[in-house]
Amino acid sequence: MEKRNKKHIKRARRMIIACLLTAFLLIAGTYAWFIGMKTVNVSSFDVQIAAIDGLSLSLDGSTWADTVVINQGNYNTVNTSNNTNSWGGSGLYPLSTAGIIDTTASRLIMYEKGSFTTTPGGYRVMASQVRNTVQGNTEQDGYVVFDLFVKNLSGHEYYATQNVLNEEAIYLTPDSKVTVASNGGVAGTGIENSVRVGFAQIGRVEATTTTQSTITGITCATAGDVTGICSSRPAQIWEPNDRNHVQNAINWYATSCKHRTGADLTQASSFSGDCVTLTDGKYVQTNAIGGVIDYSDRVDVYDGLDYNGYTASIASTPQTGKLYAYDYFTDTEKSLTGVERPTFITLAPNSITKIRIYIWIEGQDVDNYDFASLGKKISVAFGLTKERFFDEDFNYVNPEGAEEPEDVQKSEHPSYDYDAAHADQTPSNNNNQQGGNEQNNGGGE
C-alpha cells in the first residue's frame, strides 16, 4: 500500500500544478461593499505550488523548482528583482474589476467605493479607480497580489508571436475551492461566496532565457525578447461557489431590492414591485464595475436582469459610468468533465510566462452583504492541470496483465466528487445575458 501511495503522488506531480492557498482572513467588523469598506484583515496566507512534468515554477525568475511557497512572511523578500508583490496591507477591501489590465503599468485595473447612499429600491453606487496604475505608485492595500513565473518546456520550438492557437490548454482542477476555514471560521455566513481569484498573464520570453531582470521585468509591451500578452488578453477570473447563497444574504437582498422602472434614483416612482427572486443553487450574474462611476450616471447596485430588471446601466464592454456583465470562470464550469470541460488558461510551449495573481473580495457580488464578515476566516485552494480526460471519462478497461493506471484527480484530490460532477454538466453562467461579454478569458490573439 505504501508503494502504491508513493506512486500516486509521483504521477500526480507529473500531471498537476497544485496551488494550495490557505487564507485566514480575520474580520474586524462588517465589510459589505457599500456599508463598511475595510474590515477583512489578513492574518496569514500560505501559497504552496507544485509543478507538473515539463513545467517549473519560480517566484523570482531565477530559482526554479517543482514546488514554491509564498506567504505573508516572505512575499516581500522572496524576489529581489522587480518585486511588486503586496499582501493586502492592513486588510482586504471589497473591490471590483472587469479584468482589464493597464498596459502601461502592467497591472489589473480595479475599482473601489467612491460614495454610497440608499435609494428607494436599493443603493446608489459611485466608484473610483484604485490608484495602483498611477506612475510611481505601488500596488495598493485591500487585495493580495504576487508574481508567479511558469516555465513550460513542452517542446523545443518557441513561437514569439502571440497567438492562442499555438498555446496549450490548462485546466482548473475540480477540487479547487474556497471555503470557511475549519479552524476559527464561522460557517453559514457566506463570506466565501464573494471571493475572486484573478490570473493576469503579463508577458513571456523564451524558456532558455536566464537573465533574472529580463524575466522579472516582463511587461505588457512586446519589445526585444519579450512578447507582451496583456495588451490583448484580459485576466481570467475564477468565481468560486457561483451557485451558493446563504439565507441571510437572500433575506438582505429581498428586503433592500425593488424592481426599477425609471432613471431617477431619488424618486420612489422609479421603483415598483419585487426584484427577481434570489435562490440558493441558482447562478446570478455579477455585474462588475468596468469604469469610474459618478452620481450623474445613476447606477444602482441591483441594476441588471437578474436583480431589479433595469439594464440601462449595463454595458456590453467595460466602460465609464456603467456596470459590466463579466463572464467569470465558475465552479460549475470547473466541474464539467470530458469534452465539456473548458480551458481555464493557455500557455505557450518552450516559454517562461509571468502571471500576476490577484485575490480580493468582489464588492458587486450579491453575496457580499453586511453580516457576511462574521465568517471571520476562509480557506482558498486551487490547482492547474494539463489533463482534460481521465480514465472515468472514457470508461477505461485495464488490459489483462497491465498495471492499472490510477485517476490522478481521485487519488490526489479526494475531495472531488467525480460522480456528482458527471451528474450535472450544465454551465452555471448565462453568458451575454445582460449586454454580452466579448472577452476571451481563455486567451486572445
For residues 338 and 328, what is the distance between their CA atoms, to the nearest angstrom?
Answer: 20
pLDDT of 49 reads: 56
What would the grid cell of residue 268 be? 420612489
CA distance 399 to 3: 22
Tell me which range, 1-15, 158-172, 405-419, is most confidently predicted by mean pLDDT. 158-172
Asked whether the predicted pLDDT for residue 33 surpasses 90, the reply is no
Segment 367-385 mean pLDDT: 68
Indicate whether 197 pLDDT > 70.
Answer: yes
Gap between the Cα atoms of 357 and 352, Å rounded: 16
Is residue 4 in a domain? no
What pLDDT shows up at residue 4?
40
Question: Model confidence at 430, in pLDDT bands (50, 70, 90)?
Answer: very low
In a domain, 10, yes or no: no
Note down the domain range covering 127: 15-423
Task: For residue 9, tell me if it sits in a domain.
Answer: no
Q: Do the domain assignments include residue 91?
A: yes
174 against 48, higher pLDDT: 174
Is 344's pLDDT higher than 50? Answer: yes
Q: 433 pLDDT exceeds 60?
A: no
Q: Are 330 and 429 in contact (CB under 8 A)?
A: yes
CB 79 within 8 A of CB 60: yes
Tell me the CA end-to-end span of the chain in Å, nearest whole number. 48
Unique residue bearing C-alpha cell 492541470: 385
Residue showing cell 453562467: 429
Q: Taking 60 as the threshold, does the pLDDT of residue 372 lie above it?
A: no
Q: What is the structure's pLDDT at 26?
A: 41
Residue 84 lies in a domain: yes
Q: Where are the alpha helices (DSSP H) in 47-200?
A: none
Residue 436, in any domain of the structure? no
pLDDT band with cut points at 50, 70 and 90 for residue 16: very low
440 in a structural domain: no
Q: Is residue 435 part of a domain?
A: no
Tell me the helices (H) and strands (E) count for the chain, helix number first: 6, 25
Write the Ramachandran bin of 321: left for phi over 0, alpha for psi from -120 to 50, otherwise beta.
Answer: left
Model pLDDT, residue 52: 53
Number of domains in the chain: 1
